[in-house]
A and B are shown apart, each in its own frame.
Chain A
Amino acid sequence: MTFMQKTLGTAAALALTAGAALADPALIYDLGGKFDKSFNEAAFNGAERWVKETGGSYRDIEMQSEAQREQALRRFAEAGFNPVITTGFSFAEPIKNVASDYPDTKFVNVDGFLPEIPENVSLISFQEHQGSYLVGVLAAMASETGTVGFVGGMDIPLIRHFACGYAQGAKATNPDINVIANMTGTTPAAWNDPVKGSELAKAQIGQGADVIYAAAGGTGLGVLQTAADEGIYSIGVDSNQNYLHPGSVLTSMLKRVDNAVFEAMSDGENLETGKMTTLGLAEDGVGYAVDDNNADLISDEMTAAAEEAKQKIIDGEIEVVSYYENDSCPALDF
């Protein structure tokens, strides 16, 4: 046993015995990076809000490779951070692998899925298809050409899930509407390719789309930019992106990762684990953003329609089909 091991071991032991008051939360971002103006940045914003309100401190790290996931979880757990919060479904498996080694640490994962949830793990999932349904309703009402677009990032089930809810909302509002859906690519680079996003947006505009919903991480910024340049509407995702191009971004599909992170940090060691929390419209986990930047774009009629759909989904009158249910979408072919 080397000297380093001993000192680290002692430090870890100290951190553990020092007790509840000293344990800071840790936040691990997925490969997209902390400042993606979208999913991971929402987590960062939630953490920053927690710091502002409580004066606490936390540590965070961005992933660079797959092997680092488990490493980061272990390092933070060993150093006494609690809870350890992670964003992105790719953390579910690594968490399952390490959770039993650190029974005193609580792990939180946003977006992940595990068939059996370990006792010290909390999973948080969002009903993205419900929020996407609402922006689909708004898109269909704002569209004059009868064609709306969707630009996804990487072609994975999660993004099809977004597209599927969107298409259902649009078709429920206007049965004749034409929904064009494109995915940016098949590699993780598809999350951060604004140029390709811009090209896809142009192609969709060429086919008549006048509202485009981008669920593509950093790639979406190119979609929003092109929509603004070409004078059509776009819809942002995850964080409120209305401010990026006021007057052009129709609305943003909010996925309140920030709230989830904020609450996990606030609960700290008293966090309830061993379960999966699903946040949908009823819990304000998803929704559409209205602020000063887009208030003029959303007419009263549109607000009324969206609110009505929202209430009906909460009451169960409208059932938005999830792509995950049978890996296919009733309103859209991929």
Chain B
Amino acid sequence: MDKMPAWADAVLVPLISILIAAVLSALVIAALGMNPFEAFRLMVEGALMKSSGWGYTLYYATNFIFTGLAVSVAFHAKMFNIGGEGQAQIGGLGVALCCLFIPWPHWSLALIGATISAAAFGALWAYVPAILQAKRGSHIVITTIMFNFIAAALINYILVNILRPSGGMEPATATFPEAVHLPTFQDMFSTADNVLFRGSPANITFFIAILACIAVWLLIWRTRLGYEIRAFGHSETGAKYAGISPVRITVISMLISGALAGLMAINATMGEAERLVLNASEGAGFIGIAVALMGRSHPLGVFLAALLFGFLYQGGAELAFWANIPRELITVIQALVILFTGALDNFVRWPLERLFLATRKKGTA
């Protein structure tokens, strides 16, 4: 056996990667004349030491769980869906239409309706690149990224020319009616004399994200379709030989992927903004790629990686509030984490693998 143990692959590699990223970030912060320990303390305090900080961390994490799962499902079929951004924005359109034009009696019904609508719109937006890939061989990376721009242009057109309330300066829809207001963590967990999660945007969608994690796990490892997706991902020719239709698997896995990306909109559009604004996805579609890479395309890994990125987002915001650092620095820190956990994965894995093999040989000799 020339592999390192599974736990090392799943836990040790990402941990060491994060550590390297943290050390490099500390060096950058120190180079700018700030105390890196103080900066780290600010991030932890702001993101994890108060319930309202958690409220933001979990809000961002919810977005990243959805987009991370979206990328993961496509990964299992060896497809690189980098269109999460566009699919999430179109999902937002689905949510907005659903919330604005259907008179929902209660938020719970609206949530179900919006979930279906967001998933359907997101899936629809992934369908065209999927069918182009399956039938015409147009590379999915190219088509999905192009569809991001088409989605942005479409949303812009619709917001500026159709859905914008008259007199409004901002390209955004009207605020959704009160009846579709989703319960936030503040509504759910606060008592009269102890307000928790004050003002933070985390809402009930977080639990839908957890359900989505479980559903994706069941789908990939416990159903026939999941088996076919994985078989197709491992070897297209092998899958064909076993009677699995490449066209069908390509389209279905992309539809699921698009639907998951679209679901992000119930968190950002229905839960937080309560109206559709421009660029509602805010790059979460791209962060999803890093989250999926770091989480090894496993729902549990995606969940943990999403929490980490949620922490980076909220901690970064706190750093900007109280430390007076340029906002570009926060982007640098986030980029370092993405670089080491995603792109430079083998940078850590290979030496570690060699180390493990060396110790094992010694043990058996």
Contact = CB atoms under 8 A, between A and B. Distances in A.
Interface string B171-187: 11001000000000000
B327 A62 contact: yes
Contact of B170 (A4, A61, A89): A89
Contacts of A1: 194
A324 to B, nearest CB: 7
Interface in A302-334: 324, 327
A273 interface: no
Interface string B251-273: 00000000000000000100011
Interface in A53-95: 59, 61-62, 64-68, 70-72, 74-75, 89-90, 92-93
B317 A68 contact: yes
Contacts of B50: 2, 4-5, 8
Nearest to A325: B167
B344 interface: no
Contact of B280 (A61, A66, A72): A66
Given A61-B320, A64-B330, A89 B45 contact: no
B327 A187 contact: no
Given A5-B50, A67-B201, A111-B169, A155 B317 contact: no
A175 interface: no
B321 A75 contact: yes
B60 interface: yes
Given A4-B45, A67-B272, A186-B152, A113 B167 contact: yes
A147 to B, nearest CB: 26
A246 to B, nearest CB: 29
B317 A64 contact: yes
A90 B168 CA distance: 11
A157 interface: yes
A64 B194 contact: no
A239 B321 CA distance: 26
B347 interface: no
A59 B313 CA distance: 21
In this complex, which of A71, A115, A188 has the most chain B Cβ atoms within 10 angstroms of its Cβ? A71
A61 B164 CA distance: 29
Contacts of A5: 50-51
A65 B313 contact: yes
B278 interface: yes
A156 interface: yes
A42 B156 CA distance: 27
Contacts of B277: 66, 90
Interface in A240-297: none
Interface in B266-294: 268, 272-273, 275, 277-280, 282
B49 A4 contact: yes
Nearest to A92: B170
Interface in A1-29: 1-2, 4-5, 8
B169 A65 contact: no
A90 B277 CA distance: 9
Chain A interface size band reads 35 or more
A187 B273 contact: no
A324 B169 contact: yes
Contacts of B317: 64-65, 68, 71
A177 interface: no
Contacts of B279: 66, 187-188
A98 B273 CA distance: 13
A220 interface: no
A2 B157 CA distance: 47
Contacts of B331: 64
B286 to A, nearest CB: 13
A112 interface: yes
A217 interface: no
A33 interface: yes
B121 interface: no
A112 B282 contact: no
A5 B196 CA distance: 10
Contacts of B157: 186
Contact of B278 (A74, A92, A93, A188): A188
Contacts of A298: none
Contact of A65 (B45, B51, B168, B282): B282
Given A64-B316, A66-B273, A74-B199, A327 B166 contact: yes
A33 B272 contact: no
A180 interface: no
A29 B249 CA distance: 47
B76 to A, nearest CB: 29
B220 interface: no
A64 B45 CA distance: 19
A51 interface: no
B201 A70 contact: yes
B170 A98 contact: no
B160 interface: yes
A158 interface: yes
Contacts of A92: 169-170
B66 interface: no
Given A64-B327, A186-B152, A115 B167 contact: yes
Contacts of A65: 282, 313, 317
Interface in A95-149: 98, 101, 111-113, 115
7 closest Cβ pairs, A-B complex: A186-B156, A186-B153, A4-B49, A187-B152, A113-B169, A89-B169, A62-B327
Interface of A: 1-2, 4-5, 8, 33, 59, 61-62, 64-68, 70-72, 74-75, 89-90, 92-93, 98, 101, 111-113, 115, 154-158, 186-188, 324, 327
13 contacts: A2-B49, A4-B49, A61-B321, A67-B282, A71-B317, A92-B170, A93-B172, A113-B170, A157-B160, A157-B164, A158-B169, A186-B152, A187-B152
